[in-house]
Amino acid sequence: AQSVTQLDSQVPVFEEAPVELRCNYSSSVSVYLFWYVQYPNQGLQLLLKYLSGSTLVESINGFEAEFNKSQTSFHLRKPSVHISDTAEYFCAVSVSSYGKLTFGQGTILTVHP
């Protein structure tokens, strides 16, 4: 079985500051890794994914995450956040390329002006 731990339940930051949301996973088999974002009153949206290849993956809105197999981590980073990045972020794993997802507990990112 797989499990995902998001180490911070809430992360408050000021606008234009850098941010890192931490995610660690546990699995006895190889997994695929995802970050989903949930804006207020909206459904979950895929932010970025690691399926294979380069361990550093990027989203279209400036987020990036690096797959670290030795540390079983997939931390999400952004060098400069905006107010509009305020949302809840979920790390997830799957043993198939998408398929059934096992989610972490979520991290609420609040960006203050």
Partner 1 sequence: EAGVAQSPRYKIIEKRQSVAFWCNPISGHATLYWYQQILGQGPKLLIQFQNNGVVDDSQLPKDRFSAERLKGVDSTLKIQPAKLEDSAVYLCASSLRQSEKLFFGSGTQLSVL
Shortest Å, Cβ 84 to partner 1:
19
Residue numbers 55-94 binding partner 1 by CB under 8 A: 90, 92
Shortest Å, Cβ 79 to partner 1:
26
Residue 106 contacts partner 1 per CB under 8 A: yes
Distance CA 71, CA 7 (A): 14
The letter for the amino acid at 2 is Q
Phi, psi of 85 (to 5 degrees): -80, -5
Residue 53 contacts partner 1 per CB under 8 A: no
Binder among 28, 30, 42, 70 for partner 1 (CB under 8 A)? 42
**88 Cβ neighbours under 8 A, 6+ residues apart:** 37, 38, 106, 107, 108, 109
Residue 10 contacts partner 1 per CB under 8 A: no
CA 63 to chain centre: 9
Shortest Å, Cβ 94 to partner 1:
8
